[in-house]
Structure 1
């Protein structure tokens, strides 16, 4: 649909919603005829038809054959009631809930994705137009059990360039990276099993593992990977079934695994029969590849997962799992049981179209260049406020920073949220709650000077007590 026409349709819908909210329309009332309302709104009849059809799909109105459209009584709540007013605890869901539900003018230096205008949007539009002209099955059918063959072939080629030899039987496409972790947990674990994570680690690892009723243990993370002495002690004593980590540009610290640590992690895992999930979602942000557990292990006990939400689009969801053939076979069955097939052919086809062209490499080169500049600028401006990076990452968009002494990141986050700025306090990433002096900042989301003004005012308020 033409963007102008779509906007006019939405205007008609909002006008009707406003009448409902103002009680100018009551349950059972008949809406104006299509032609009469089109004349009143100065739009085409087809625009009113589209608006009425969409409101009927929402349940606000219903059509009566030969009679017109009537208000159902299931009116929309006022907009201020549509959002939760319950104060949110600073827990692993804090950043996700505040970022995903934020108003359009909210600033989100605590979120975990690139701004929309950093993404290859024109390439996405071209790909969508190409798919729309193609086979009807792409638009209407379920995905196959292992996912799009063209996309899997492209991934196999990319893995081969890294030195990871993967057969077609070792690769499964999923609906997202999060779903990939979920499937692995369902396949390998039972409620009550012990899982090891980094401290700090990606907050949604914590949330998802808790949802599976698993026992979480953590190991301190260093600039070169997990503290190997602590890692060996925990694994030997507690015998976790699984370890989940980011090797490259670790979330939230931005650190990368050293070769020596990678070797020791694999040796300890083998000695204690522990599987490893290596989330490689940030791989393409590295200027040069760092050590990878999956490559060193050859996908024996390491499972590699990833997705394209950080590099291409969070709206076009598609992830993958690369693992042993027998494990993938079990994961295929689980994906059928829980999702009835692989990812949307539309999503997989769109990603394959972009990866197959030369534009993706150029896009990532430009993103890496912009991130390098944004990292330097953000670090300088944060340091001027007394907020200091733990390290300067090789790439990616995260800075893991220590706040000034005496400042509680959770309180700082609440004050900033009152001014429309979403932050990510450190303890949402920490199982052991040892990151109370830290915050994670997304440098790609920090171009707006107001962020630093809000931080400065909040810090001043907390110092003054």
Structure 2
């Protein structure tokens, strides 16, 4: 049986990064197959396959009876090669690394591992079903049966939603794009969680808007800071993620949620609530949209964080007038969303496959969270545990680890990290780091972190 491609890619990328960083130089011998397999905790066949592929690419040379040697010099190569993360303060490079996956150890990743989302059973179903439907365009609002199902799911979360209030999008990011394009003008102030969702900060910058950070606590936005910023900034929009917050992992409490909505009403704020992990979180968890019933809250959801990563299917629920405005803009700019993907997701839900998948995903996330918390606490970190689930932990770092070159140091070791600077509206936030629970107990990452702590 061939070795899993992800593990082979892991070995290849690790070697390429070491060559790129200069820790492996032309002429140097690589570790033996047995030693490398033991070090990485993988099978020897996987290492053999990775070495042979690098030989085929001209990166390594096999010397019978001696081993494998580096022959490739990065500066002289004109072919594709792995590149280190561009810069610690560059949000675009942070997002690009999540897509290109060049660094093998990934505590800074914002997504769960591919193997968590695409189990063998689900892959078989996807392969069979994907092109069983016709090629007609989707309706302007999206696949009607899936929208009806989603309205039912929102009802279980306490959110009353009719079909004229919910439009399908190409993921939550597309919904944010539509909202910014429709309601934000250059020069506008827009309130955001700080630390908060870094692609949103990049979107607002591209729109010429000013992102005004509202301090984010573990139990939700700092209400006093929200009130002060709403009163003085002139902002009319507030983007927030109430539950399983990215990047801190915290979740809003009922008391904080009531206070946020009271402040929004007093200052006429339109609140955009992103809920990407809703399907693995408790239905009864506090949601602004449930307390507000979509009067001044636009509620965003997505399948991209809980289903196969290649799905770009999301939705927005809002008051009828707002939903209609956003859907008209969607039709003008994107024509329609994917009928194939939406029909497929509906079938996964209808046939019970999605529910089984979610149960496995919750169990994996819970187990990984416990392991990561235990490992990080053993290093001396105080961990504020996620409330109700989610994929993220947030650790405060000592002052000496606030160096902007920290991300480059990690990349040279093959480790992808996500420091606080990427998630803040401040140019000099307190040193901290987002950690994906799937990778928080990775031995290579922990060893690097222990060395940096001194």
Common fold, TM-score beyond 0.5?
Answer: yes
- Describe the SS at the equivalent of 2:401: coil
Deviation at 1:233, TM superposition (A): 1.1
CA distance in 2, matches of 1:142, 1:213: 34
- Alpha carbons 2:88, 2:405 under 8 Å: kept: no
> What pairs up with 1:74-89 in 2 under 5 angstroms?
78-80=79-81, 87-89=86-88
Decide whether aligned partners of structure 1 residues 290 and 86 sit closer, same or farther in structure 2, where only a CA change above 3 A counts: closer
> What pairs up with 1:288-437 in 2 under 5 angstroms?
289-341=284-336, 343-408=337-402, 410-433=404-427, 435-437=429-431
- Describe the SS at the equivalent of 2:91: coil
Q: What residue in structure 2 maps to residue 100 of structure 1?
A: 99
Unaligned stretches of 5+ in structure 1?
Answer: 4-75, 461-465
CA distance in 2, matches of 1:131, 1:326: 34
Matched, 1:255 2:250: yes
Deviation at 1:176, TM superposition (A): 1.4
Deviation at 1:86, TM superposition (A): 8.6
Q: TM-score, normalised by structure 2?
A: 0.78
Q: What residue in structure 2 maps to residue 44 of structure 1?
A: none
Deviation at 1:386, TM superposition (A): 3.4
Decide whether aligned partners of structure 1 residues 356 and 215 sit closer, same or farther in structure 2, where only a CA change above 3 A counts: same
Q: What residue in structure 1 maps to residue 139 of structure 2?
A: 144
Matched, 1:279 2:280: no
CA distance in 1, matches of 2:383, 2:85: 33
Aligned residues: 379
CA distance in 2, matches of 1:86, 1:282: 27
CA distance in 2, matches of 1:386, 1:416: 20
Q: What residue in structure 2 maps to residue 114 of structure 1?
A: 112
- Describe the SS at the equivalent of 2:89: coil
Matched, 1:175 2:170: yes
- Describe the SS at the equivalent of 2:438: helix
- Describe the SS at the equivalent of 1:375: helix
- Describe the SS at the equivalent of 1:252: coil
CA distance in 1, matches of 2:315, 2:83: 33
Decide whether aligned partners of structure 1 residues 389 and 413 sit closer, same or farther in structure 2, where only a CA change above 3 A counts: farther
Deviation at 1:84, TM superposition (A): 5.6
- Alpha carbons 1:282, 1:310 under 8 Å: kept: yes
Deviation >6 Å, runs of 4+: none
Decide whether aligned partners of structure 1 residues 447 and 347 sit closer, same or farther in structure 2, where only a CA change above 3 A counts: farther
Decide which of 125, 133, 138 is 1:135's aligned counterpart: 133
* Root-mean-square deviation (Å): 2.3
Deviation at 1:447, TM superposition (A): 5.2
Q: TM-score, normalised by structure 1?
A: 0.77
> What pairs up with 1:32-47 in 2 under 5 angstroms?
none
CA distance in 1, matches of 2:238, 2:403: 28
Q: What residue in structure 2 maps to residue 209 of structure 1?
A: 204
- Describe the SS at the equivalent of 2:400: coil
- Alpha carbons 2:190, 2:209 under 8 Å: kept: yes
Decide which of 223, 231, 234 is 2:229's aligned counterpart: 234
Deviation at 1:391, TM superposition (A): 4.1
Q: What residue in structure 1 maps to residue 443 of structure 2?
A: 449
Decide whether aligned partners of structure 1 residues 409 and 98 sit closer, same or farther in structure 2, where only a CA change above 3 A counts: farther
Deviation at 1:312, TM superposition (A): 0.4
Q: What residue in structure 2 maps to residue 125 of structure 1?
A: 124
Q: What residue in structure 2 maps to residue 64 of structure 1?
A: none
- Alpha carbons 1:409, 1:438 under 8 Å: kept: no
Deviation at 1:268, TM superposition (A): 1.4
- Describe the SS at the equivalent of 1:255: coil
Deviation at 1:303, TM superposition (A): 0.2
